[in-house]
């Protein structure tokens, strides 16, 4: 799936002018409140018309103001999951799911009711009414209803925003499973860094109605110049690793990264599966040459890719380890003492206890 968007839209005093192209499995529209995320996703859905511009999904033109083309929302073949489930209270879970099938409009089925219920873990809930469901269960039913309409694209507008942490932890694995097994590309709206890092592969960064940057999630979050727009309280990156082995006795897991093996806190997942780990800049130290005998076990060789502008007594340094960026926040004095410059080989040092598992989001 390739989604191409180049639109302008004025709503009151707010003006959106956004352009991007994405072919990812999960494209995140990311930005602070008021950035234009919901306006943009409503334009893609066809709920509002652009003042100017085009929207296309693969070879199908959905909007083209110059040619006066506007495909109505119900004919776009796009599913929409809102912040609240918006289920029909008088229907059972089964009835809500069947209602979604009415909008398939002859498109090939994306799965039977039973298959979708199994994918989302809602098979035991089919005879219940929405009033008897938790917030996370309601959202899974809402996703299932959207899937049974056999959409070409699924829009999810901050589907976890109204849930507490426990309910978010409940539903995130199902959204991951939908991403990996559902076969439907997703546009996912959020302002939560960890949520986007865990789910998305492509990120469109919005600020004040404009696309500030778009590209791979980790590349965008690792750019030092985009920190004012990503709104991260502290710099961090997500490393992709392969689980090698677990040591439950020591509470640790050995993982393989492109730059070398590491020991991290015990995590879920079978050996051989991939996972994402968040590393904060404050937890990364740098060494020039071999650091010798020290307690930090994780040592990743890399190359200095960027040195940020000093902020107080600190400076952020981006290092490429394998093909992924890692950010270290060190003092200006340390950077000067090491003689750091772009292109210089260094060793990034990360304590084993410093990693955050994104399956804990």
Most confident of the following: 3-12, 155-164, 191-200, 260-269 = 3-12
User: 227 phi and psi, to 5 degrees?
Assistant: -55, -40
Confidence band (pLDDT; 50, 70, 90) for 269? confident
The one-character DSSP state at 309 is P
pLDDT of residue 278: 85
Q: In Å, what is the CA distance from 43 to each residue of 58, 73, 201, 277? A: 16, 9, 22, 34
User: 62 phi and psi, to 5 degrees?
Assistant: -95, -35
Distance separating the N- and C-terminal Cα atoms of the chain: 28
pLDDT of residue 105: 62
Question: Residue ranges of the alpha helices (H) in the chain?
Answer: 37-45, 93-101, 113-119, 135-147, 165-181, 193-199, 217-222, 227-230, 332-338
Cβ(237)–Cβ(300) under 8 Å? no
pLDDT of residue 275: 86
DSSP string computed for 220-236: HHH-GGGHHHH--SS-E
Per the prediction, the chain carries an average pLDDT of 89
218-241 residue pLDDT tens:
888 888 888 788 865 567 788 889
Domains of the chain: 3-230 (3.40.50.300), 236-356 (2.40.50.100)
84-130 residue pLDDT tens:
778 999 999 999 998 888 777 655 556 688 988 998 999 999 999 99
Cβ(303)–Cβ(346) under 8 Å? yes
Cβ(119)–Cβ(111) under 8 Å? yes
Confidence band (pLDDT; 50, 70, 90) for 280? confident
**Contacts of residue 209, Cβ cutoff 8 Å, sequence gap at least 6:** 14, 15, 16, 17, 18, 35, 36, 39
Please name the helix (run of DSSP H) or strand (run of DSSP E) that holds residue 187, with its range, or none: strand 186-190
The one-character DSSP state at 107 is P
pLDDT at 246 over 90: yes
pTM, two decimal places = 0.81
pLDDT of residue 52: 98
338-361 residue pLDDT tens:
999 999 999 999 988 888 766 543
The three-state secondary structure class of 130 is: helix
What is the share, in percent, of the chain residues with pLDDT greater than 90? Answer: 58
pLDDT of residue 360: 41
157-206 residue pLDDT tens:
999 888 888 888 888 888 888 898 888 999 999 988 888 888 999 999 99
Most confident of the following: 107-111, 307-311, 326-330 = 326-330
pLDDT at 17 over 80: yes
Q: What is the mean pLDDT of residues 68-78?
A: 94
């Amino acid at each position: 799936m390739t989604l191409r968007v180049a639109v302008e839209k004025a709503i009151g005093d707010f003006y959106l002018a956004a352009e991007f192209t994405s072919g990812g499995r999960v494209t995140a529209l990311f930005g602070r409140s008021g950035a234009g995320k919901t306006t943009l996703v409503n334009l893609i859905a066809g709920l509002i018309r652009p003042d100017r511009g085009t929207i296309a999904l693969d070879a199908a033109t959905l909007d083209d103001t110059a040619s006066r083309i506007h495909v109505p929302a119900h004919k776009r073949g796009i599913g929409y999951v809102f912040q609240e489930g918006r289920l029909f209270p008088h229907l059972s879970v089964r009835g809500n799911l069947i209602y979604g099938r009415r909008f398939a409009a002859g498109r090939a089925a994306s799965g039977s009711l039973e298959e979708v219920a199994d994918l989302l873990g809602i098979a035991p809930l089919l005879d219940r009414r929405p009033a008897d469901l938790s917030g996370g269960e309601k959202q899974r039913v809402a996703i299932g209803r959207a899937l049974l309409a056999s959409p070409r694209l699924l829009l999810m507008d901050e589907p976890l925003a109204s849930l507490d942490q426990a309910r978010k932890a409940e539903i995130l694995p199902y959204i991951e499973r939908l991403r990996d097994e559902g076969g439907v590309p997703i546009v996912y709206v959020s302002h939560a860094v960890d949520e986007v890092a865990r789910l998305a592969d492509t990120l469109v960064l919005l600020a004040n109605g404009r696309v500030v940057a778009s590209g791979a999630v980790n590349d965008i979050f690792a750019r030092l110049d985009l920190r004012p727009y990503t709104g991260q309280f502290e710099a961090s990156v997500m490393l992709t690793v392969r689980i090698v082995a677990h040591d439950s006795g020591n509470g640790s897991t050995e993982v393989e990264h492109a730059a070398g093996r590491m020991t991290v806190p015990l995590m879920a997942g079978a050996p051989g599966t991939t996972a994402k780990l968040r590393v904060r800049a404050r937890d990364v130290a740098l060494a020039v040459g071999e650091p010798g005998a020290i307690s930090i076990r994780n040592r990743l060789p890399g190359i200095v890719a960027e040195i940020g502008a000093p902020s107080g007594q600190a400076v952020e340094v981006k290092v490429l380890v394998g093909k992924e960026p890692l950010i270290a926040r060190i003092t200006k004095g340390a950077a000067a003492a090491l003689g750091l410059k772009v292109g210089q080989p260094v060793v990034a040092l990360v304590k084993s206890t410093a990693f955050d598992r994104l399956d804990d989001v």
